[in-house]
Chain A
Amino acid sequence: MPLENLDPQDRDILYELFALGLLEPDQMAEVRRLLESGDPETIAGLRKASLLTSSLAYIAPESKPPAALRRRLMLASGVKERGMGWTWILGLAATCVALITIAFNMNQDVQRREAQIAELRTQLDSSQKLVAQSKDLYDFLRQPSTLTVKFGDGQPTPPRGQVFINRERGVLLFAGNLPAMPQGKIFEMWFVPKGGGAPIPAGLFRGENGQGIHFRPGAVDPALIAAIAVTLEPEAGSTTPTMPILIAAPVQVE
């Protein structure tokens, strides 16, 4: 039957049989002639049929081609196989360099942070010590049994200040107008006993901007002390005071 006389469904089947290579020779020749002549209806019908028949490939059980086939094909087509070559070595090297750089930077960062932590810990220790000392001094000062001695009042040039004496806890000195400490020298506090005995060393301390604070812990009997004195001594301290006496605060027990 001539193709023009076929209904649309028969034409679809005809095109599908052509795509599958199943037409009888005379029909095959007729469709091919129309195809070669560029007949739009035939071409459109064959396109639709080709999509359907080529899809039948997906019914085949799935099999994986051997890896060597890819290499053989690339070789046969003259195409250099994409992929590894030297590129992966360069990539690996770049990755290694990046990782080492990151690790090095991280290590430096860790070390820097550890140093910061150590410094902060030291500052914290110092602050805690300062707080403890401040608390200790506050307790010392607020006790009713603490005796207060002033010295140097009304005299701007010589040192002046206050001495606090507590029988159980010790002696605390606040001094102002202190002279500058020469190189290799330090201030030393003395207990001057009543009855003319030799002054007793009561600790070394440094001054700063004419100010000095010194605490000599331990029990002390103010009734046995005539005065609290301060001299300038070598850094190791002295067993006897070196003249002149910078501070002499008489202790008077009521």
Chain B
Amino acid sequence: MIWHILILFAELVAANDQDLIERLRRRDPDAMSDLYDRYSRVVYSIILRIVRNASVAEELVQESFLRAWNRGSDFDASRGRIGPWLLTIARNRAIDYLRSTAGQQQATTFELVSSERVTLFVNTEDRMLDQEQARRIRAAFSQLNENQRQVLELAYFEGLSQSEMAEKLGQPLGTIKTWVRTALTTLRGTFHAA
């Protein structure tokens, strides 16, 4: 019974997400407000964590939402979630900023943009609620050991390549690759099984 209610609730939220996407496509002004109200806190949190500067974070939050707003018409989705797409855009903008300040912009920007293609966030069977997604990833992350957490944080929040992590942590590249591989495997297993 409880599962039926949860599924119903999830479908309801998913339907609301579809409604938001549809309104973004139509460039309904209220859709922008709704998008911001729903995701501004997590978007600001991740960007601030990456750039560690409030005024820069504010600029990047603005840039991320504007990007979503201007590209909302591409989000042709009968099934899909806008949250993961927006979080990918936000993370990419922040990593871009970090790399641009380190003089590494040209090559990496193109790589990051590939990871935020709308194609990767539409026509998915995923009906997970944002809160459920947050709960699962935190539970999965808590399963990792210190080294595994550290490499994932360096990868996600600092955008370091595995070679850069090896250098930063003073570990052989093979060790870093093992930690990353084990961390992602554990994370994936716990996240999707939860």
Contacts and interface: CB of A to CB of B under 8 A. Distances in A.
Interface residues of A, number: 47
16 contacts: A12-B184, A16-B188, A19-B120, A22-B155, A51-B126, A52-B187, A54-B83, A57-B90, A58-B133, A58-B134, A59-B153, A61-B45, A61-B49, A62-B41, A63-B41, A72-B62
B66 A57 contact: no
Interface of A: 9, 12-13, 16-25, 28, 32, 35, 43, 46-47, 50-66, 69-70, 72-74, 76-77, 79-82
Given A69-B40, A69-B58, A73-B65, A43 B120 contact: yes
Given A21-B115, A22-B162, A57 B44 contact: no
B49 A52 contact: no
Interface string B61-100: 1100110010000000000000111011011100100000
Contacts of A59: 137-138, 141, 153, 156
A57 B180 CA distance: 17
Contacts of A19: 88, 115, 120
Contacts of B108: 21
A65 B32 CA distance: 16
B145 interface: no
B140 to A, nearest CB: 8
Contacts of B107: 25
B111 interface: yes
Contacts of B46: 57, 60
* A-side interface mostly: helix
B88 A54 contact: yes
A81 B33 contact: yes
A72 B65 CA distance: 11
Most buried by B among A35, A52, A66, A82: A52
Contacts of A66: 54, 58
Contacts of A82: 29-30, 33
A65 B188 contact: no
B121 A70 contact: no
Contacts of B136: 55
Pairs A-B, 3 closest by C-beta atoms: A60-B49, A58-B134, A65-B44
Interface in B124-140: 124, 126, 128, 133-134, 136-138
A14 to B, nearest CB: 10
A73 B62 contact: yes
Contact of B42 (A24, A57, A79): A57
A35 B65 contact: no
A64 B41 contact: yes
Most buried by A among B48, B137, B187: B137
